[in-house]
Amino acid sequence: MDLSAFRTLEPLCWRAPSAHNTQPWRLRYEPDAIRVGWDPDQALKAADPTGRDLRLSLGAFVETCLIVAADAGLRLEYVADHDDRNRRVGWLRPARYRYRTSFRATDVWERRTDRGRFAGAPGGDALAVVDLVARQAGGGVRAVPRAGRLGGLLRVADRRLYADPAVVAELRHWLRLDPAHPDYHADGLSDRCLDLSRPAAAGLRAALGAYPVLRPLGLPRLLAAAGGDPLARGGAVLALIAPDGLDEAGEVEFGRVLLRVWLTLHAAGLAAHPLSQLIDVAATRTALGALLGVAPERLLHVARVGRPIRAAPRSARRVGGGGRDLGPVRTGGSARTTR
């Protein structure tokens, strides 16, 4: 297989999800393989100090590359080769066979995070299927019981995070609350994707601008309340649970699992709205672990999942069609790639 054939597919691969939509992955074409690494400037040093979400995002990208390549008839495989110091997770290289997957490029294109209202929660069948997807890798997916207690935990987590100036500065850096922002169609979290009305987006922008002054006056509490209660928007809360003692390379593997879980949900007409703050804050992570009866360190990802009532806006990308709805056909070579 000629590796350069993969280049034209890159824009579609960039549809992979990443925390804060930073798109941290970087590909480098070498004679016999494509190196998959990451750009430290796109890592969330304050919000994701352990790098868990970075590695999940990189794994999700790897799985996306394999699906897109397989759908285009390319025989590509992934070889994990984690090297934190050199910022490498592994290699994509020519293979004897096409990657075996039931997902198609159109699934990659259509899947999206949905922070809006859900008409229903996943049924037992859908839950069993995504649990099986994770169990095949030694993990599991479980619905959080007594989800009524989660509202309080979410408020605690949000307040803790909004009280941390470094986390807030980082969030502000990646927020795209005004369509005039130069990177509105490139990356980050837009007002539309966050399901914010124009006045709400303007209010949030003003509040974050005044953060240093207003922080001691209780702004973190206000900011935490301003987003409303995501749990009131319906759905069930699911947790992705890791096997015991998962290492960094294992987290990348579970990023691949996470993508398969999301695409499985998508195929069942469901969507996910991650609530990572619940496991970013030690106290709420412990409480969530207790609700699920698992060790807190095994909690890898948490999301509200349900049946969307309308298609969520498509998020922006630095490569390819950006936030504009141009369809998966725009995978041609004119796209700007940043490596």
Q: Which residue, 95 or 268, is less far from ligand FMN as judged by CB?
A: 268
Please report how close the Cβ of residue 183 comes to ligand FMN at its closest, in angstroms: 13
Q: Which residue, 141 or 189, is less far from ligand FMN as judged by CB?
A: 189
Q: Which residue, 98 or 155, is less far from ligand FMN as judged by CB?
A: 155
What are the C-alpha distances in Å from 63 to residues 3, 57, 76, 258, 292? 17, 10, 11, 9, 28
CB 295 within 8 A of CB 289: yes
Would you state the structure tokens that stand for residue 293, as one six-digit string?
């009866």
3-state secondary structure 251-320: HHHHHHHHHHHHHHHHHCCCEEEECCHHHHCHHHHHHHHHHHCCCHHHEEEEEEEECECCCCCCCCCCCC
Please report how close the Cβ of residue 205 comes to ligand FMN at its closest, in angstroms: 18
DSSP code of 242? P
For residue 98, the surrounding DSSP H or E stretch is none
Distance, C-alpha 302 to centroid of its chain:
11
Please report how close the Cβ of residue 186 comes to ligand FMN at its closest, in angstroms: 12
Would you state the structure tokens that stand for residue 24, as one six-digit string?
């941290």
Please report how close the Cβ of residue 49 comes to ligand FMN at its closest, in angstroms: 14
Please report how close the Cβ of residue 19 comes to ligand FMN at its closest, in angstroms: 4
- CA 11, CA 8: separation in Å to the nearest integer? 7
Please report how close the Cβ of residue 20 comes to ligand FMN at its closest, in angstroms: 6
- CA 107, CA 262: separation in Å to the nearest integer? 10
Q: Which residue, 35 or 301, is less far from ligand FMN as judged by CB?
A: 301
Please report how close the Cβ of residue 143 comes to ligand FMN at its closest, in angstroms: 18
Residues that bind ligand FMN (CB under 6 A): 17-21, 53, 56-57, 60, 112-113, 115, 189, 274-277, 315
- CA 100, CA 92: separation in Å to the nearest integer? 15
Please report how close the Cβ of residue 124 comes to ligand FMN at its closest, in angstroms: 25
Would you state the structure tokens that stand for residue 26, as one six-digit string?
């970087």
Q: Which residue, 20 or 142, is less far from ligand FMN as judged by CB?
A: 20
CB 63 within 8 A of CB 260: yes
- CA 321, CA 326: separation in Å to the nearest integer? 6
Nearest to 14 by CA among 319, 339, 322: 319
Please report how close the Cβ of residue 88 comes to ligand FMN at its closest, in angstroms: 19
Rounded to 5°, the CA angle 68-20-286 comes to 110
Q: DSSP string covering 207-226, please?
A: HHHTHHHHGGGTHHHHHHHH
Q: Which residue, 92 or 258, is less far from ligand FMN as judged by CB?
A: 258
